[in-house]
Amino acid sequence: MRLAKFLANSGIASRRAAEEIIRAGRVTVAGQTVVDPARDVDSSSGVALDGRPVGVKAPELVVYAVHKPAGVVSTASDPQGRPTVVALVEVPQRLYPVGRLDADTTGLILLTNDGELAHRLTHPSFEVDKTYRAVVSGGPVGEAALRSLRTGVQLEDGMTAPARVRRVGTDTLEITIHEGRKRQVKRMCEHVGHRVLSLQRIRFGPLRLGELPPGAHRRLSAEEVSLLRAAGSADRRSARM
């Protein structure tokens, strides 16, 4: 593990701040001052900060809600150099997105270092609801299109599960699904003759986007995390069947 990451995982500072601490000559490894943040170390290397031993502790599990703007990708890194949703939240923990939103889709996405929770929130077997607000083309959305979306439509990768659909304007729908297929809401709307012009996720399980501004984030409370865990529980899934 790189020395800067070792310090960050130990709760000393963020990765960036840890690099500055190392370059300032405050860190030793086996009694020798090290100024290279990329130096490989582990718990047996004898890392010390200002003479005090440093050991890796289990990272605190956290969950953040983020309002993803358009043009930001839902990954931890991007080979094309595009801005990532992870870069919007600078914290000591190494975070990962819970599922994905297309680059041009905005709205609520969760970041966490809790792998078990992320799995439960994204695996199709747990059927966690996600609600999207879609502005579509093709004129007013008629009853026939709504019925098709509500009963399920046949896509190239199979029949979709029934969706909950609410018309909130002549060209605007709120669609709730629990599947996570690629571009699913866009493809569903296109199937019934309405191309999606803009798409925003406004709810993930029990959490709503609310008034969180684009690009902003907030850490979820313990109560909110408990609600997420309940949303991804097997008991809840069984109750829906």
Q: Which CATH number do you get for residue 109?
A: 3.30.70.580
Stretch 211-227: mean pLDDT: 96
| pLDDT tops 50 at residue 241 | no
Same domain assignment for residues 41 and 84: no
Same domain assignment for residues 117 and 214: yes
d(CA 73, CA 205): 21
Q: Is 78 marked active-site? A: no
Q: 19 lies in which domain range?
A: 3-53
Q: Which residue has the tokens 């929770």?
A: 117
Asked if 53 contacts 6 with a C-beta cutoff of 8 angstroms, the reply is no
Domain CATH number, residue 161: 3.30.70.1560
Asked if 167 contacts 173 with a C-beta cutoff of 8 angstroms, the reply is yes
Give which of 162, 168, 176 is closest to 140, Cα–Cα: 168
Catalytic residue, from 36, 78, 102, 171: name it: 102
Same domain assignment for residues 109 and 147: no
d(CA 143, CA 74): 34
pLDDT, position 12: 81
Q: What is the pTM of this model?
A: 0.75
Stretch 43-60: mean pLDDT: 84
Same domain assignment for residues 165 and 105: no
Stretch 207-229: mean pLDDT: 96
Neighbours of 95 (CB within 10 A): 23
Give which of 177, 188, 171 is closest to 132, Cα–Cα: 177
- What pLDDT, in 10s, does the model give residues 153-209? 999 999 999 999 999 999 999 999 999 899 999 999 999 999 999 999 999 999 999
- Total tally of structural domains belonging to the chain: 3
Stretch 15-41: mean pLDDT: 93
pLDDT, position 10: 80
Same domain assignment for residues 188 and 214: no
